A and B are shown apart, each in its own frame.
Chain A
């Protein structure tokens, strides 16, 4: 199972990077979100396969799943959501400034 998860994370990452490098600015944003998803999946997989029961104290029947990575992902999801929204607004501003959403026409970093 680890191999499958690792491969899935690898593919997700590759897709994210590839999307990030597109000329279309919206695709770059999508790429960023996919990268964040890959990272969340990675965090999840570090805690997986230990327990099968949700991490509630009231669950006394089985092995509880690892709560720590879950809490970390929770934080990571929120932060990456905030970050994505912020990046989106920056991308929007770049589009508004250069009157284009084509990354190849944006060369203002030079000046």
Chain B
């Protein structure tokens, strides 16, 4: 079996989640009912369960399965999975109970068409949880750990219209997420000490960790993570509030999975972090407090699910105590406790869900007497509750016996042993009372509220809790369930670090634990009989200050300090800009300004000759750039300013020609024009009055304000100048990588243009991302303007649905509402095909001559932009209705990725060059290569064309406020009539 087989259970479950998400599509959603969908999806965890079982043979021999992949090998990061008996035990519980819960959810959400969302979350959670227990290194563990926190947030807040659900979800995320951050830091410390993030190394460096100076820090941080996740005192407050989750989620998250994550973590790290004094005290004290607090508070509850939540807290506390002990029997108690609790608690949650589902209430004060109307549910509930109560012959009895045996173990310090035994008896008694109370008040006696009537739930819904309930009966009965015992023994050994003997024999003879157990049960009976009095007493004793008050206080403080901090915000965009820029300038002056080393002696002054540098032309270009930019400040009209800007851009293009960079110059020219077109379109889209008003106030501010702006501008200008000088003078003249490009452009890429080779091949991935960004800009503009239109009442919202007039006259005219002359119209007609020819030529011969896919795309788009200017919005959209922006973008990006992958298949390198024309011996024109570079350039052209089309379509849309156009149109029509 290959090592990567370990991945299989995870892949199956995540595919299930994907499948479930697909059922969000209406046409697929109609095909299956929720129940059918749940049966289908349950196959995913079921098959994962089977695969894990098939791994059992390996696990029983106490082998581990591990799989690793180098993630960032240069900094020693790996990602991997690790499966041993401990992970296996958790994995089996996760997938088994997961299967049942999915089926159960199918019944619970019967008829709810949107339940695919719930099932998707559940499967995602399942995958994350499985990943958590199977993680092979600390980072994988942390990622899955956080994933469980986040998905549990989504599950708890599933009924997002309900405020308590949202609050509960936030609380859970706040506490477990905070713990997660602590855990991350702790785990980073661990891997720092061990020198590796892999568990294989970490689990072998116990002494290193325990003797490290960081040990107390690591312990505190890791424990914080584990305690918050496992709802240990005082972090337990999130669990009861998380009960606002739909019951299938509670049955899964809060019995066998989410909260057990913390237990798993502590058990996993126990062999390396444990066996120390501080570990013992920390886990024992916190666990014991949790154990008692959970059981005590549980007795106060009237809600079925809250009661279960508190008993879960108590149980988790007990498991935490077990991990803290350094004796063999504690780990027997740990694994049996995990298994027993997962079985009976998931069953009880599901039973509570059935009761809620069938009667409409979970309030113990209203329920009662349901045994007659819901006999099967009663039967299942009885088995599970008696297991929780710790009565023989159920598995829960075994769990309690081993717990008591641990508490009474002679190796414990005297004082601790007494307190521990006492705490175990009290908890045992309280758990007994809780279980019996839950069973009695729901099913026995007469209904307290006569309006509450129930009828039996569908068979499958009862079947789901029946399986774990029956398992807790059978597991305790089998004469020698060897396999289970062996798995448990190995799991306990993984958690303990030493061999642990586990037998599942129910009767171990008349001994002290049995007597203690009897004592606990009899006190439980007494408590149950006098429960009303006890609860009254509890209500009087209720402290005013709880941890929830503290939690609320912390949140309120955060809110208050946030609003205090934001009082500084005064809300004006320009002030923020001033602050940001002034801050940057000050940072520069403070840190770097004085230490810039300027070696002016290496500087070359312009030599006024035409032989080498054409210095005069360069100086002229620089003057043009600076002068035109300056003009953009001083001119009064915005439109003139845009023209000045355009001139400045041309100056830059000229400088690029002089610097012998023809490719760049070409792109600069087309982009400069495009920028101007888009600026003018945006300007034209603003309402005229608003535009003029803003134009008037360009410089209207106090002299001091103007001075401040000028100062900031001048200082940042000087700063940039100094940085530039220092960069230009202190760097080596000779580039290190350029010679490689020069030498290999022709041989490796088959391109004479070195710049083109870099763009299309050497840095192809860069270019792919670049067109991705550019496409996103186009899509973003489209989305933004549509959104704005819907929000602020502009016709743009119907950009797609806008009725396109079928025949002239078209309602909008060119820019400014002018009707262009026939000459210009003909010119525009001709421009587009010519631009396309130029574009295609650009792509075909871009290898050897200036020009590339980007230029081609922009040139074609410019012709389209010209149409907008000449014909106006409506006519252009009508005549160019084949120009579909989003499909073009999609086609471009897909083609680019496809090209890269194709090259990877042929050459083994993503985006390497493959010349198909040469390969196939096609008769192609000279200088044209049908190669991957050509396809890639074509892809760039398509996506750029699509993106610019989006920009033009949205910014070029006249908007309803532009009444000027319509008025002009009417005038023209009237003139024509005359």
Contacts and interface: CB of A to CB of B under 8 A. Distances in A.
Contact of B603 (A3, A10, A14): A3
B675 A33 contact: yes
Contacts, number: 335
A57 B742 contact: yes
A72 B954 CA distance: 29
A4 B608 CA distance: 14
Contacts of B630: 11, 15
A27 to B, nearest CB: 6
Interface string A1-34: 1111111111111111111111111110110011
Given A11-B626, A13-B716, A34 B632 contact: yes
A18 B767 contact: no
Contacts of A64: 742, 754
Contacts of B694: 23-26, 100-102
B742 A2 contact: no
Given A15-B633, A93-B785, A100-B690, A53 B660 contact: yes
A38 B578 contact: no
Contact of B629 (A34, A50, A79, A88): A34
Interface string B768-810: 0011011011101100110110011010000000000000000
Interface string B711-741: 0111011101110110111010111011001
Contact of B683 (A26, A40, A85): A26
Contact of B788 (A45, A92, A99): A92
B544 interface: no
Contact of A67 (B577, B691, B733, B755): B755
B569 to A, nearest CB: 6
Contacts of A6: 721-722, 724-725, 728
Contacts of B569: 109-110
Contact of B720 (A13, A19, A29): A13
B955 to A, nearest CB: 7
Contacts of B852: 74
A23 B674 CA distance: 25
Contact of A95 (B690, B701, B728): B690
A24 B690 contact: no
A17 B698 contact: no
A109 B572 contact: yes
Contacts of B612: 52
Contacts of B745: 57
A57 B752 contact: yes
Interface residues of A, number: 92
A14 B585 CA distance: 12
B605 A104 contact: no
A2 B604 CA distance: 7
- Main DSSP-derived SS at the A contact region: helix
Given A6-B725, A68-B738, A85 B752 contact: no
B697 A24 contact: yes
B794 A96 contact: yes
Contacts of B787: 93
B625 A92 contact: no
Nearest to B645: A30
Interface string B823-854: 00000000000000000000000001010101
Given A24-B638, A30-B641, A68-B735, A57 B746 contact: yes
Interface string A81-111: 1111110111111111101111110111111
Given A37-B648, A41-B652, A111 B604 contact: no
A84 B777 CA distance: 9
B704 interface: no
B562 interface: no
B717 A44 contact: no
Contacts of B683: 26
Interface in B579-624: 581, 603-606, 612-613, 615, 618-619, 622
A3 B649 contact: no
B660 A55 contact: yes
Interface string B644-670: 010011001001100111111001100
Contacts of A25: 694
A28 to B, nearest CB: 8
Contacts of A81: 671, 674-675, 774
Nearest to B584: A17
A56 B695 CA distance: 47
Nearest to B668: A77
B686 interface: yes
B133 to A, nearest CB: 43
B66 interface: no
Interface of B: 569-574, 576-578, 581, 603-606, 612-613, 615, 618-619, 622, 625-626, 629-630, 632-633, 638, 641-642, 645, 648-649, 652, 655-656, 659-664, 667-668, 671, 674-675, 678-679, 682-683, 685-686, 690-691, 693-695, 697-701, 709-710, 712-714, 716-718, 720-722, 724-725, 727-729, 731, 733-735, 737-738, 741-742, 745-746, 751-755, 758-759, 763, 766-767, 770-771, 773-774, 776-778, 780-781, 784-785, 787-788, 791-792, 794, 848, 850, 852, 854, 947, 951, 954-955
8 contacts: A2-B725, A9-B720, A11-B629, A17-B581, A21-B713, A75-B759, A79-B774, A109-B569
Interface of A: 1-27, 29-30, 33-34, 37-38, 40-42, 44-58, 64-68, 70-71, 73-75, 77-79, 81-86, 88-97, 99-104, 106-111
7 residue pairs, one from A and one from B, having the closest CB atoms = A110-B571, A14-B717, A10-B721, A82-B777, A101-B694, A18-B713, A67-B754
